[in-house]
Amino acid sequence: MAITLDSTAPDFDERFAAFLETKREVSEDVDKVVREIIARVREEGDAALVAYTNRLDRNDLTAATLRVGAEAFEEALAAADPATVEALELARDRIASHHKRQLPADDRYQDALGVELGSRWTAIESVGLYVPGGTASYPSSVLMNAVPAKVAGVERIVIAVPAPDGILNPLVLVAARLAGVTEVYRVGGAQAVAALAYGTETVAPVAKIVGPGNAYVAAAKRQVFGKVGIDMVAGPSEVLVIADGDNDPDWIAADLLAQAEHDTAAQSILITDDGGFGEAVAAAVDRQLKQLPRAETASASWRDYGAVIVVPELADAVRLADRIAPEHLELAFDAAEEVAAKVRNAGAIFIGRHTPEVIGDYVGGSNHVLPTARSARFSSGLSVLDFVKRTSILKLGTEQLRALGPAAIALAEAEGLGAHARSVAVRLNL
Amino acid sequence: MAITLDSTAPDFDERFAAFLETKREVSEDVDKVVREIIARVREEGDAALVAYTNRLDRNDLTAATLRVGAEAFEEALAAADPATVEALELARDRIASHHKRQLPADDRYQDALGVELGSRWTAIESVGLYVPGGTASYPSSVLMNAVPAKVAGVERIVIAVPAPDGILNPLVLVAARLAGVTEVYRVGGAQAVAALAYGTETVAPVAKIVGPGNAYVAAAKRQVFGKVGIDMVAGPSEVLVIADGDNDPDWIAADLLAQAEHDTAAQSILITDDGGFGEAVAAAVDRQLKQLPRAETASASWRDYGAVIVVPELADAVRLADRIAPEHLELAFDAAEEVAAKVRNAGAIFIGRHTPEVIGDYVGGSNHVLPTARSARFSSGLSVLDFVKRTSILKLGTEQLRALGPAAIALAEAEGLGAHARSVAVRLNL
């Protein structure tokens, strides 16, 4: 059973602080193993990539069969349930149309001195998308990563997805196909990250690697960071639902469980101003757990990390929400819009009683790759901005150089950088 | 002497590829030491922070004297050369006015189904700015990091700057004061990063850490990434100058040396379509080196990493520039504007014969914190965007949920996530 906290209790601050500090992830120390894997793939290329893949994924590939053939995409599409394909198409189109609004505008202007300044955005040339294998091999995540990259204008998008025991989720190929990605390799783990970062004979290197993965993938991304760009290192998922007593406890319980079923380390939190409602939701969670296919995962998550926090007024929840900085924040009460405007730290906000977070996982149009583990305090969900970069532009004529040059020389000299000073002075005959 | 490459030579591709792969940094393996330092500061707080600081910086501080007192800022300002202060003020104002244009706009709209979507930007609450000590303690870098954070709306900006042997560059305090930063601690290295990330009794923790540092600082930033946000890990600086024979060789030589004097690992590259001009620039570099205060550093950089590349046409240089992905790109020829438009991978472009890169270091208004070591292929210079984060907004009513719900249910079921499906179905009475 999840913990219950009463915000008016004398020890609340202490208990809430301890709750925030609870570590939900065992941080495996895999750095050394990962370092070896990366070094070997760098040195030996395909030979190492194939050897690791066959050993770790119990697979039987050669350099020639690492890449998924063109026909496999068509086969997967033809074999898929049409309703699923249609839903993926709807998701793709809604993600594309929302993310198009995120394309940043170039800027170029002249200031009062006549200095021209600018910012110009261009797409990253090539991006690698890591897709986990096994049960967490989600076609929706393929869309959430690949579609924004496409919208940004990335020319080459490469998917690395392990095929443990030779099994690849066909819906991953369908999603790739619908997103317009045709370069997919059956590789995973640190060896896949190494291949994407440094390249092998078969896999050309990319400039940036995105997508979630296990501890090995996360450690490998950290290690290749700098050689290539990486996105955030994702932790287990979480939801904070703020709800009043006018909700159906069954609805809110279902939302808490949707998060909990992801992972035993996922976290579901309810804040309510109605203690009786909180108890009703907890009871509904227990009832629903009995019917869930992933009951084991969900019940471990709810038992170990779930929480019901009772506050005197829902408005008080804003302060707590900002400290929790949840990946997902659901606001299920009438004044949701006003409260949403006051929240600062949240990856995504789902407003009102008819916006379950699950809509955002699939077909809302916004991205489901969001900052976890309190990182909404300093980072954002995945967007088109993750697939573009900005070049700044500066242009002076003789007059502008005369106007700004002396100050640049003064600062260069103050910093002891004589050649800096000279590079301006020589042009001004100083 | 720098190397000379001829792009028409039969072995050019090979030599250019080798040139690109040249490692300019010795990557010290300091991970283990840094891990210990961070763990001790986390456990022991101020006691460890003070102990490390006094030992490593040969300092004599207590928890009570870690923070720079208010009077020290005023004293530094009063003692500074007025011309330097005026130049810093000009730089601050120009940086502020340029960076204000980078503030992202919120977005909120309703799509054809009546679904409301949005993106809302908020400032990060608190940011730590690392400033190196010793000779690389640059007041201009304080402005380049602190002013964008101020423009973004960050309420709490904290500077950590080591004071080796008790010495603090007073211009760092002046720049902090001009940027409106009043919380400055005399701490550096991995211990400073640990204090900023985890907090001590004296230093409250921040949500993100930015700014350059040595190998220990870089390793510490990597290790605390996730607990807090970090900016890019900066490598040694570089410039690529593309110039035709109509330039004064002395001007171009001065620009190459301005980069080279930063660091023995800095890199200065000239691409020209005029071999004779290339030779004249190299000769001018040698002449100027004799008069430089930092001749030793600059000449080591030029000797070990400098290059002159001769191409048949300047237009050919675009392809090479994109592969080099320089931090700074100077275009000193008449058609600079046209060529600039074609370049994709560059941190900043300086257009025309009267825009030496040094202007951008100080008073151009654009940021001088730019992607090094070919990372302009996937990342951007520092901007207001580094100090804000985006919350996505989704809002459905019953009608919208009826329209999108079935597709969400289909995808949840295809992914084997029963509680996800139920969280939508329960609201639709399915």
Cβ <8 Å between B258 and A419: yes
Q: What is this model's ipTM?
A: 0.96
User: Which residue numbers of A are catalytic?
Assistant: 327-328
**Res A25: pLDDT:** 72
Torsion on CA atoms B408, B414, B419, B425, rounded to nearest 10: 40
Q: Do A358 and B261 touch (CB under 8 A)?
A: no
**B327 counts as catalytic:** yes
Specify whether A300 is located in the same domain as A201. no
Q: What SS3 string covers chain B?
A: CCEEEECCCCCHHHHHHHHHHCCCCCCCCCHHHHHHHHHHHHHHCHHHHHHHHHHHCCCCCCHHHCECCHHHHHHHHHHCCHHHHHHHHHHHHHHHHHHHCCCCCCEEEECCCCCEEEEEEEECCEEEEECCCHHHCCHHHHHHHHHHHHHHCCCEEEEECCCHHHCCCHHHHHHHHHHCCCEEECCCHHHHHHHHHHCCCCCCCCCEEECCCCHHHHHHHHHHECCEEECCCCCCCEEEEEECCCCCHHHHHHHHHHHHCCCCCCEEEEEECCHHHHHHHHHHHHHHHCCCCCHHHHHHHHHHHCEEEECCCHHHHHHHHHHHCCCEEEEECCCHHHHHHHCCCCCEEEECCCCCHHHHHHCCCCCCCCCCCCHHHCCCCCCHHHHEEEEEEEECCHHHHHHHHHHHHHHHHHCCCHHHHHHHHHHHCC
Domain range enclosing B12: 3-25+235-364
Average pLDDT, rounded, for chain A: 95
Residues B221, B279, single domain; the answer is no
Domain boundary among B230, B257, B274: B230
Q: Which of residues 256-315 of B touch A (CB under 8 A)?
A: 257-258, 260-262, 288, 292-294, 298
Asked if residue A369 belongs to a domain, the reply is: no
How far apart are the CA of A262 and the nearest CA of chain B, in angstroms?
8
The CATH number of the domain holding residue B309 is 3.40.50.1980
Catalytic residue among B328, B330, B357, B368: B328
Please judge whether A393 and B351 are an interchain contact, meaning their C-beta atoms are less than 8 angstroms apart. yes
Are residues B225 and B332 located together in one domain of the fold? Answer: no
Are A54 and A124 contained in the same domain? yes
- Tell whether B195 lies on the interface with A, counting CB pairs under 8 A: no
| Nearest-CB residue to B423 (from A124, A258, A390) | A258
Q: Which residues of chain B have pLDDT under 70?
A: 26-27
| Domain annotation covers residue B371 | no
For residue B336, the distance in angstroms to the closest alpha carbon of chain A comes to 10
Give the residue from B185, B200, B230 where a domain finishes: B230
Q: Which of B212, B230, B248 is the last residue of a domain?
A: B230
For an interface test with A, which of B337, B374, B422, B429 has the most A Cβ atoms less than 10 Å from its Cβ? B422
Question: B interface mutation test: which of A85, A302, A362 has the most B CBs within 10 A?
Answer: A362
The pLDDT value given to residue A237: 87
Kindly state whether residues B241 and B174 are assigned to the same domain: no
Residues of chain A positioned with their CB less than 8 A from the CB of B355: 394-396, 401
* pLDDT, position A135: 74
Q: Are residue B346 and residue B413 in the same domain, yes or no? A: no
Interface list for B 147-176 with A (CB within 8 A): 171
Which residues of chain B does A262 touch, with a Cβ-Cβ cutoff of 8 Å?
A: 417
Task: Check residue B26 and give its pLDDT.
Answer: 67
| Same domain (yes/no): B36, B116 | yes
Q: Is there a single domain that holds both residue B164 and residue B225?
A: yes
Please check the confidence at residue A131 and state whether its pLDDT lies above 90.
yes
A416: in domain: yes
Chain A residue numbers with beta carbons less than 8 Å from the beta carbon of B90 are 404, 407
Task: Note whether A100 and A190 are same-domain residues.
Answer: yes
Which one of B391, B424, B429, B430 would you mutate to disrupt binding with A, by most A Cβ within 10 Å of its Cβ? B391
Contact A407 B117 (CB under 8 A): no
pLDDT band at A101 (very low <50, low <70, confident <90, very high): very high
**CA closest to A210 among chain B residues:** B378
Q: Are both A285 and A181 inside the same structural domain?
A: no
Q: Does the residue A368 lie in any domain?
A: no
CATH number, position A413 = 1.20.5.1300
Whether B137 and B286 share a structural domain: no
Does some domain include residue A223? yes
- Out of B83, B207, B394, closest to residue A366 by CB: B394
Average pLDDT over residues A111-122: 98
What does the pLDDT read at residue A82? 97
The structural domain count of chain B equals: 3
**Do B37 and B153 fall within a single domain?**
yes
Q: Is residue B376 part of a domain?
A: no
Q: Which of B102, B362, B385 sits opposite A411 (nearest CB)?
A: B362
B338 found inside a domain: yes
Q: Is A370 on the interface with B (CB under 8 A)?
A: yes
Residue A169's identity, in one-letter code, is: N
Digit-coded pLDDT (tens) for A276-310: 999 999 999 999 999 999 999 999 999 999 999 99
Residue B198 lies in a domain: yes
At A26, is the pLDDT very low, low, confident or very high (cuts 50, 70, 90)? low
